[in-house]
Structure 1
Amino acid sequence: MALPIITNKIGVIVDSFQVGVKEGLLKAKQVGADGVQMYAVHGEFDPANLSVAARKEWKAYIASLGLEISALVGDLGGHGFQDPAENRQKIDKSKRIMELGMELGTNIITTHIGIVPSDKNSQVYETMHSACEELARFANDMNAYFAIETGPETSAQLKSFLDGLGTKGVAVNFDPANMVMVTGDDPVQGVHLLKDYIVHTHAKDGLKLADIDPRDVYGYYGYEKTLDHEQIAAMAESGESFREVPLGEGSVDWPAYLRALQEIGYNGYLTIEREVGTSPETDIGKAVQFLKAYKA
């Protein structure tokens, strides 16, 4: 079968360069990206730290580089939206991040909401569902998407959760590597299952080395073991259960995966995420070229 020829734009997560936003934007341009995604939860891109003037300045600066914003990262960590005591603050901040995205020119915010429980009658499921219903309505009203990253649960489980929200304001940021590394789910099947919800993707690759409880990676409300972002990255770099690797060196079947995205009519961004390694700029540059090879 012939390789798919893609027309998707290629993005990079600025924070993956590990050099700050402004320098990261310059590096994104240098490696040949069309667009960028930035974390908007802390530091200089926290909505609370950005005045109206600063927002306009950033939007103009990014445009001056010939770049678009593919999405913002709005992942607030912890157990996502599983803890009812934290949800009011997290929901409100998520709304502010969505508003910031619209001002900067993107209507997509990507996030983790926590592992969706298999038991729809559980308290955790109800807590997550209630939070996501509110966020879905808010996003839908402003023509935006609050996009859940795939990986913590199977695509079938995630689809069932999304189908019950009433609108598509809560959508999907599809990450094929998370699926192959943790649950062992098939990204190609996942694309077809979640086709009505995919609004953004992360281009990442990985290997599953051993079975692992998703709670040991993503945490769970009331579960003893909880890792922060740095600890998860360390696990992905040298852990015994899974490994994040450069594009094309892992278990993601890129021709089949890209063809599946074509088949569902997805024409959005393929945004490169590199969370491990000592040479992120080199790895990201190679990833851009890897994806561009499918444009030939």
Structure 2
Amino acid sequence: MNVGVLIELNNNINEKFEELRAMGMNSCQLVCWDENKFTDDMAELVNQAVKKYDVNITAFWCGWSGPVTWDFYDGQLTLGLIPPAYRFQRLQTLMLGSDFAKKMNIRDFVTHVGYIPENPYDENYTGTLVALKKLIGKCKENGQNFLFETGQETPVTLRRAIEDIGYDNVGVNLDPANLLMYGKANPIDALDILDKYVLGIHGKDGMYPADGKNLGEEKPLGEGRVDYPKFIAKLKEIGYQGDITIEREISGEEQKKDIIMAKKILDELIQV
């Protein structure tokens, strides 16, 4: 296993890669929520920076337009492909994102699909799967795996969706903190359910929700409820050999400090 970090796509990509290398890492996931950046010029800028700094981009994390509320109420109405009002528009954005990722030779394509219904007979479940099959077909044409970011659904619901889709290029980018912060699962137990589908990992930490409306609090890695010694041991047990990509959703010097500490913790656990 190798440790990398999540990097936001912008015109300062050379500076971002230089920081990445200075922190002792050579891999990242690239994240972008703005489809206006899905241009040939931006792809070329990234490709040149990859060569210059010898960086491996393991996944493209693609966002989408429209309202976004990260809670248990309005989040049901705004996040991902689940809300019918935004599904078509966001599907188009994600398909453009897949084409953009191909220009950078990125293998894995990741997004939050939203609160996948527990009930497989829910019309939003069936409607979302129709949209996902189109997107995943596009990913397959582009030589990519489509990865669900975990968090907003239980692991068994996510596995059911993968099995119902039926494509062989579908997997999971498992974020252990999200599973806790959304109150959906213990991430170590989730690996028993998702095991063979886990193709990416986020290194993040957090707490369980403190009330019925709001997500749990994100924490620096090692200060939340994710039991990282057991989590890394379980990853080894199921044979995971991919990267662990650190995500710390703050900015500035405190973010860099937390990322460096997270890398130290993860490197030590991987070597055990």
Q: Same fold (TM over 0.5)?
A: yes
- Which interval holds the TM-score relative to the shorter structure? 0.7 to 0.9
The percentage of aligned residue pairs carrying the same residue is: 26
Structure 1 position 211, deviation (Å) = 4.2
Aligned counterparts of 2:11 and 2:47: Cα–Cα separation in 1? 19
- Name the structure 2 match of 1:68: 56
- In the TM superposition, 1:120-269 aligns within 5 A as 120-213=120-213, 242-269=216-243
Aligned counterparts of 1:39 and 1:23: Cα–Cα separation in 2? 15
- Name the structure 2 match of 1:290: 265
Highest relative contact order (Cα 8 Å, sep 6+), 1 or 2?
A: 1
AA matched with 2:30: M
Aligned counterparts of 1:54 and 1:146: Cα–Cα separation in 2? 22
Q: Which runs of 5+ in 1 are unaligned?
A: 1-7, 218-241
Is the Cα–Cα contact under 8 Å of residues 156 and 193 in structure 1 kept in the other structure?
Answer: yes
Q: Which 4+ stretches in 1 moved above 6 angstroms?
A: none
Aligned counterparts of 1:34 and 1:173: Cα–Cα separation in 2? 19
AA matched with 2:25: A
Is the Cα–Cα contact under 8 Å of residues 202 and 244 in structure 2 kept in the other structure?
Answer: yes
Q: Aligned to 2:8, which of 15, 22, 28?
A: 15
- Stretch moving more, 113-122 or 54-63: 54-63
Aligned counterparts of 1:209 and 1:119: Cα–Cα separation in 2? 23
Q: Aligned to 1:59, which of 27, 47, 51?
A: 47
Q: Which runs of 5+ in 2 are unaligned?
A: 69-77
> TM-score when scaled to structure 1?
0.80
Structure 1 position 271, deviation (Å) = 0.3
Aligned counterparts of 1:37 and 1:201: Cα–Cα separation in 2? 10
Is the Cα–Cα contact under 8 Å of residues 98 and 108 in structure 1 kept in the other structure?
Answer: no
Structure 1 position 269, deviation (Å) = 1.1
AA matched with 1:24: K
Secondary structure, in 3 states, of the residue corresponding to 2:165?
coil
> TM-score when scaled to structure 2?
0.86
Structure 1 position 249, deviation (Å) = 1.3
Aligned pairs, number = 258
Aligned counterparts of 2:44 and 2:16: Cα–Cα separation in 1? 19
AA matched with 1:74: C
Q: Aligned to 1:280, which of 241, 245, 255?
A: 255
AA matched with 1:63: K
Q: CA RMSD in A?
A: 2.3
Aligned counterparts of 1:148 and 1:272: Cα–Cα separation in 2? 17
